[in-house]
Amino acid sequence: MATIAPERLPAAEREKLTATWETAPGLFGWFASVDHKQIGIRYLVTSIVFLLLGGVEALVMRVQLAQPMQRLLGPEQYDQLFSLHGVTMIFLYALPVLSGFSNYLWPLMLGSRDMAFPRLNALSYWLYLFSGLFLYVGLPLGQAPNGGWFNYVPYTNRQYDPGMNIDIYTLGLIFLGISTVVGSANFVVTLLRTRAPGMSINRMPILVWGTFTASAANLLAVPAVSLACFMLWLDRSFGTHFFDVEGHGHPLLWQHLFWAFGHPWVYALVLPSMGIVSDGLPVFCRRPLVGYTAVALATVTTMVIGFSVWVHHMFATGLPAMAISFFSAASIIIAIPSAISVFAWIATIWTGRPVFKTPFLFFAGFILLFVIGGVSGFMTASAAFDWQLTDTYFVVAHLHYVLLGINLFPVMGGIYYWFPKMSGRMMDERLGRWSFWTMFVGFNLAFFPMHIVGLEGMPRRIYTYPAELGVGGWNLLITVGAFLFAAGILMVLVNVLVSLSRGAEAGPNPWDAGTLEWSVSSPPPPQNFDIIPIVASRHPLWEDRLEDVDERSQLGRGYLLDRGRETIGTTPMDAEPNVILRMPGDSLLPLLLAIAVTFLFAGLLGHWWIVSGIAFAGVLAVLIAWFAPQPPVGDEKARLYA
Amino acid sequence: MRRVGAASLVFGPALLAGCSSMPLSYLDADSPIGGRLAQLGWGLLGISVLVVVIIAVLLVGAVARGRSSPDGDALAVRRDAGGMRWIYIGVSISTVALIASVIWTLLTLKAVAEPAKAAPMTIEIRARQWWWDAIYRAPRPDLQFSTANEIHIPVGVPVRIELRSDDVIHSFWVPKLAGKTDVIPGQANRMWIEATKPGIYRGQCAEYCGVEHALMSFRVVADPLPEFTAWRARQLRGMQVRDGVAAAGSRVFAEHCSACHAIHGTGFGGAYGPDLTNLGERRTLAAGVLDNNPDNLRRWIEHAQEVKPGARMPDVPLPPNEVGPLVAYLEGR
């Protein structure tokens, strides 16, 4: 059974733990690793690669739009680019990058040795990678999705869009949805079961609240879009009539299903990154976050209301005024919890003593972008005025302030903030400031004028526009801004690459932060914690310096759990230890399962039913191996097998 | 242009630099619906700009305040107290502003739902990939007619619009007259428009509908009632086949164009493409893409795929002795 470890762990004991938790070396280890830190970094790297791909697509489009009536791209090329840009940024960058942070950080923040289901974690990464490649397979063939990321029927019915474009989209999203759902389930269970003793829910970092809320929402939202895509695939492949008017199907059904997913999803893209700010900003203000409880509850409230606002994407579809009024009111009121967070952040800076490091610049700059994106959202939430705003560049401005301002800026700040933990080295501060100011200026140059051209009536999703609209000058400015912004992002990446080898040694806690992940070495050892800590407050590393904290967390005493891969399981609310969780080691099963699923979807795409049949048999075979019972170890009575 | 102050100060110069040169701008609309929406828009914009300015000032203030207090240990952690008042006050004020905006929105929704007086006429709009068919409904079939891409309405009269699509989803939008209403296959959406001043109002498809969505525009021409009545009479009369060049053009039309295009009064009844009755009177060609003149018409006929790649109109290569008369016939010259 578990033993309470002595204050200082003997070196031999630590080596034993490290050996137990270490991923095997070489290629096998690379493919079989279930270490949440490796998986987290893979998520981050892959999603940033997709960010760059989506960014290049955007720049090509901006060149096309720099002046009226240009012919760099044909309409079909443009349509594929804007569709792929949306799909890439929304599905393959914005959520996965946050999953990367959360995968890496959660166990470290929560005082655990891994996520609740390490193999599921690896599976969700491989599925993400393969579904991302699947969605891109059409690009070199000139068959990339071309119905927009929203993919409205009937334009995407086979009658109007006969190519493989939309089949790739529908199957790709179902495919990616599996990754999202297993990842989300893992986060939910990890939160509920694998926090360190004493890490009650009112002591969790806000990032954890954000990712938990987003994950719970994904479990409810993703099935809607998977179902919609499956129905559309049936319509296209077998002539069913879910969305086909001539067969008494209804096009608006797609919109309801899509946005019932889509709107909760956009909150899932921002709540974790707002959590990054809520956790990171206070460290650079040298005080705890103002209004922790309010911000945590605002996070959850936003998501709950977020499930009842989807119709604001459909104000112009001719729905009854009564329905529109309700959804309009809900969409305006949802700004209240956001206001709570904004004032909490400002109060934290105001009553703190800010330290002007690069992460602080990104987090503070984010607040302004958040508010601009918020008020433009408030304007579009007003159903009557949205009849003018919708489908103009005003909405393009809004969604980029939201998705870049609220997702990308915190992500970049988060990279500067946690890079030392992940790599053991500091990023360059000077280049860091340059990258922030380049990004900030470029971003506003690129996206602020979009509000103006939108108010002047420039419609969205157009491959060109006539000179009479009078928006050519603004568009040139937008294009220049976009390139400047891209240069800023490149500076961050250069900084990352250079700092990996040349950065100064970071040590365990370079920012003097207060949360658990900073109590271990940088980078952390494979087992994360030699001893599972016992947590007594929100800021275990600041307890001596905060006046109103009486209890003391124990970082050097706690559960040792050294008989194989073990971590502690605790109760959902108060985090009282009640079970020892036995964790799986390196495994090729996640990769094999993901490969089998990939062949399954490839078969469905090509209507090669035999391939799909064999792949499905493969899926079942891997699942049988996955769930094969393992012999109990030792004399423990209660053990969970993950 | 005298609307809400704060918003005008910030956005005004940029937005209103040239109202007349912004054919799709909806913040300076003064039609019954457009004006009401513009009022709400300026109001919301004013609130939004105010909020951004206040937050920006507070943010800069907070940062500057911190910068000016370098006392003591730079890394000392302050105790967790204070600051909640920010949330109480900030959120309270925000809530009041938000609720007021909800009420204003609901009042506006109610105000524009129906015209002040009953609309005496109905135009059925059939949106097609990538042009607009306008059918002027009438109780008697001989008073009903079609036109395309240029919709005439009488000034000061509310006009009911019934929106239908036989292909994909489009959205009918004349920013200065009203907000968007989607045109969705399988359902008939209804709206109304009214112009208070004579003029040419630009319209545009606002829902992505395929390769030429960008160039799917149209014009609404608001005429004083007598002119509108005269226009309607000309539409009902249709085109007269005359002698000479036009008659030759008519024969070319019969051979090359009439399978898709109709011309009222001639017996040409193709229903696949736009009705071309009295094309010469229209301001634009190809769904609002080209100015209507003989050169452009010729270019459109011969090189439609260059002007509007992917459009349903094919390139129609004709010998010079045919295209000339055809253009003359269509332009009514």
Q: Which of A318, A354, A375 sits opposite B66 (nearest CB)?
A: A354
Amino acid at B138: A
The answer to whether residue A6 scores a pLDDT higher than 60 is: no
Q: Which residues contact A571 (CB under 8 A, 6 or more apart)?
A: A578
Interface of B with A in 246-285 (CB under 8 A): none
Contact state of B86 with A542 under an 8 Å Cβ cutoff: no
- The whole-chain average pLDDT of chain A stands at 94
Chain B CB contacts of A356 below 8 Å: 67
Q: Do A347 and B18 touch (CB under 8 A)?
A: no
HSE value, Cβ hemisphere, 13 Å, CA-based, for A33: 19
| Closest CB to B94 among A339, A457, A546 | A339
Q: Where residue A630 falls among pLDDT bands split at 50, 70, 90?
A: confident
A445 torsion bin: left (phi>0), alpha (psi -120 to 50), beta (else): alpha
Percentage above 90 pLDDT, chain B: 81
How many Cβ pairs within 8 Å bridge chains A and B?
304
Rounded to two decimals, what is the model's pTM?
0.95
Distances (CA, A) of A451 to A199, A444, B67, B213: 44, 11, 33, 21
* Residue B141 Cα, gap to closest chain A Cα (Å): 27
A280 Cβ contact partners less than 8 Å away, ≥ 6 residues apart: A359, A363, A410, A413, A414, A417
Integer angstrom CA distances of residue A417 from A93, A515, A550, B85, B268? 19, 13, 29, 29, 72
> Quick count: other Cβ atoms within 10 Å of Cβ B9?
11
C-beta atoms of B66 and A352 within 8 A: yes
- pLDDT tens track for B33-45: 999 999 999 999 9
Tokens matching residue B2:
């005298």
Instruction: Specify the pLDDT at position A382.
Output: 97
**pLDDT for residue A547:** 74
Mean per-residue pLDDT over chain B, rounded? 90
Nearest CA in chain A to B92: A336
- Kindly state the tokens that stand for A121: 């974690």
**Greater model confidence, A558 or B109:** B109
Give the whole-angstrom CA distance, residue B171 versus residue B191: 12
- For residue A110, which of A211, A220, A1 has the smallest C-alpha distance? A211
**Cβ(B26)–Cβ(B41) under 8 Å?**
yes
User: Which of B80, B86, B184 has its CB closest to that of A546?
Assistant: B80
Contact B25 A368 (CB under 8 A): no
pLDDT of the residue at B5:
46
Which residue does chain A place closest to B95, by CA atoms? A336
Q: For residue B258, give how far its alpha carbon lies from the nearest alpha carbon of chain A (Å).
A: 25
Interchain CB distance below 8 Å, A546 and B79: yes
Map residue A57 onto helix, strand or coil.
Answer: helix
Residues from chain B that touch A376, judged by Cβ atoms under 8 A, are: 48
- Give A-chain residues touching B69 at CB under 8 angstroms: 353
Considering only CB atoms, B41 lies closest to which of A364, A388, A469, namely A388
Banded pLDDT at B67 (limits 50, 70, 90): low
Q: Which two tokens stand for residue A528?
A: 């994360």
Which of B:108-127 have CB within 8 Å of A? Answer: 108-110, 112-113
Selection from A341, A266, A342, A344 nearest residue A298 by Cα:
A341
Quick check: B102 and A455 CB within 8 A? no
Q: Collapse the DSSP code of B193 into the 3-class scheme (helix H, G, I; strand E, B; otherwise coil) and give the result.
A: strand
Task: Write out the two tokens for B160.
Answer: 């009911």
Chain B residues with CB-CB distance to A457 below 8 A: 22-26, 175, 204
How far apart CA A202 and CA A185 sit, in angstroms, is: 21
Q: Which two tokens stand for residue A401?
A: 């302030």
pLDDT at B250 over 50: yes
- A332 vs B105: CB contact, 8 Å cut-off? yes
Q: For residue A30, how far is the Cα from the chain centroid?
A: 23
Smallest CA–CA separation between A354 and chain B, in Å? 5
Residues in chain B within 8 Å Cβ distance of A468: 21, 23, 202
The residue among B131, B181, B166 whose CA lies nearest residue B151 is B131
Domains identified in chain A and CATH numbers:
11-517+587-627 (1.20.210.10)
**Smallest Cα–Cα separation from A131: which of A73, A76, A177, A195?**
A177
Do the Cβ atoms of B67 and A354 come within 8 Å?
yes
**Mean of pLDDT values over A136-162:** 95
DSSP secondary structure, B273-314, as one string: S---TTGGG-SEETTTTEE-SHHHHHHHHH-HHHHSTT-SSP
Nearest chain A alpha carbon to B186: A245
From residue B74, alpha-carbon distances to A348, A354, A356, B66 in Å are 16, 9, 11, 11
Q: Which residues contact A606 (CB under 8 A, 6 or more apart)?
A: none
Q: Which helix (H) or strand (E) holds B161?
A: strand B159-165
Rounded Cα distance, A504 and A272, in Å? 29
Nearest to B104 by CA among A201, A385, A151: A385
Alpha-carbon B25 to chain mean position = 10
Specify the pLDDT at position B204: 97
Contact A533, A577 (CB under 8 A): no
pLDDT at A510 exceeding the cut of 50: yes
For B133, the 3-state DSSP assignment is: strand
pLDDT band at B239 (very low <50, low <70, confident <90, very high): confident
What is the set of domains in chain B, with CATH numbers? 5-111 (no CATH), 121-237 (2.60.40.420), 245-330 (2.60.40.420)
Q: Name the band, by pLDDT with cuts 50, 70 and 90, for residue B30.
A: confident
Contacts of A313 (CB under 8 A, 6+ apart): A150, A255, A259, A262, A263
**Residue found under tokens 């009177």:** B281
Which DSSP symbol is given to A607?
T
Residues of B in contact with A160 (CB under 8 A): 129, 167-168, 210
Dihedral of alpha carbons B182, B186, B191, B197, sign: positive
In the three-class reduction of DSSP (H, G, I as helix; E, B as strand; rest coil), residue A412 is classed as helix
SS3 label, residue A148? coil
Out of B18, B62, B102, closest to residue A350 by CB:
B62
How many beta carbons lie within 10 A of that of residue B314, not counting itself? Answer: 10
Cis peptide before B130 (omega within 30 of 0): yes
> Average pLDDT of A20-30?
93
Enter the tokens of residue B235.
């539409």
- In tens, the pLDDT along A203-224 reads 999 999 999 999 999 999 999 9
What pLDDT does residue A5 have?
43
Q: Which amino acid appears at position B54 of this protein?
A: I
pLDDT per residue over A221-239, tens digit each? 999 999 999 999 999 999 9
Q: How far apart are CA A460 and CA A186, in angstroms?
A: 38
**How far is it between the farthest Cα atoms of chain B?**
99
Separation CA A545–CA A353 (nearest Å): 15
**Mutation target among A456, A463, A541, A549 for the B interface, most CBs of B within 10 A:** A456
Residue B217 confidence (pLDDT): 97
- A116-148 burial string, b = 16+ CB within 10 Å, else e? bbbbbbbbbbbbbbbbbebbbebbeeebbbbbb
Which residue among B179, B212, B310 places its CB closest to the CB of A388?
Answer: B179
Sign, CA dihedral B31-B37-B38-B43, equals positive
The residue count of chain A comes to 642
Select the residue of A349, A387, A390 nearest B37 (Cβ to Cβ). Answer: A387
In the block, tokens 């979807």 appear at: A601
Give A36: exposed, middle or buried? Use CB within 10 Å, 0-12, 13-18, 19+: buried
Which chain B residue lies closest to A371 (C-alpha atoms)?
B52
Determine the residue type at A618: G
Across the interface, of A155, A452, A549, the residue whose CB is closest to B209 is A155
Determine whether the interchain pair A545/B14 forms a contact, defined as Cβ–Cβ distance below 8 Å.
no
Q: Does A352 sit within 8 Å of B98, measured CB to CB?
A: no
Q: Which pLDDT belongs to residue A640?
A: 41
- pLDDT tens, residue by residue, A387-443: 999 999 999 999 999 999 999 999 999 999 999 999 999 999 999 999 999 999 999
- Got the DSSP string for B231-258? HHHHHHH-PPP-STHHHHHHHHHHHHTT
In the sheet that holds B189-193, the strands lie side by side as: B145-148, B131-136, B121-128, B159-165, B189-193
In the predicted model, what is the mean pLDDT of residues A632-638? 55
* Displacement of CA B333 from its chain's centroid (Å): 30
Q: Which residues pair with B128 in a beta bridge?
A: B131
| Interatomic CA distance for residues A190 and B221, integer angstroms | 63
User: Is the torsion defined by CA of A366, A368, A371, A377 positive or negative?
Assistant: negative
CA distance A628 to chain B (A): 50
Among the listed ranges A302-311, B6-15, B185-194, which one has the minimum average pLDDT value?
Answer: B6-15
- Give A76→chain B minimum CA distance, Å: 6
Best residue in A161, A245, A338, A343 for a mutation probing chain B (most B CBs within 10 Å): A343
Query: Across the interface, which of A249, A386, A470 has its CB nearest the CB of B22?
Result: A470
Strand A577-582 with A566-570, pairing: antiparallel
- As a 3-state breakdown, chain A gives helix, strand, coil percent values, each rounded to 5, of 65, 5, 30
User: Chain A neighbours among B 175-204 (CB < 8 Å)?
Assistant: 175, 178-182, 184-187, 189-190, 202, 204
Instruction: For residue B84, give the nearest of A250, A291, A512 by CB distance.
Output: A291
> A269: closest CA among A116, A101, A144, A439?
A101
Q: Which has the closest alpha carbon to B134: B75, B193, B46?
A: B193
Please give the residue that has the higher pLDDT: either B245 or A462: A462
On chain B, the residues whose CB falls within 8 A of the CB of A296 are none
- A641 Cα to chain B: minimum distance (Å): 41
pLDDT, tens only, A346-365? 999 999 989 999 999 999 99
Residues sharing a CB contact under 8 Å with residue A108, sequence separation 6 or more, in sequence order: A421, A516, A517, A520, A524, A528
Query: pLDDT at residue A543 above 50?
Result: yes
Q: Which of A574, A88, A458, A374 is nearest to B44 (CA)?
A: A374
Mean pLDDT computed over B170-188: 97
Q: What is the pLDDT of residue B73?
A: 60
Predicted pLDDT of residue B75? 63
ipTM of this model? 0.93
Report which of B210, B229, B206, B228 is spatially closest to residue B218, judged by C-alpha positions.
B206
**B207 contact A CB<8A:** yes
Determine the residue type at A315: F
| Across A2-16, A524-538, B43-57, B83-97, least confident range | A2-16
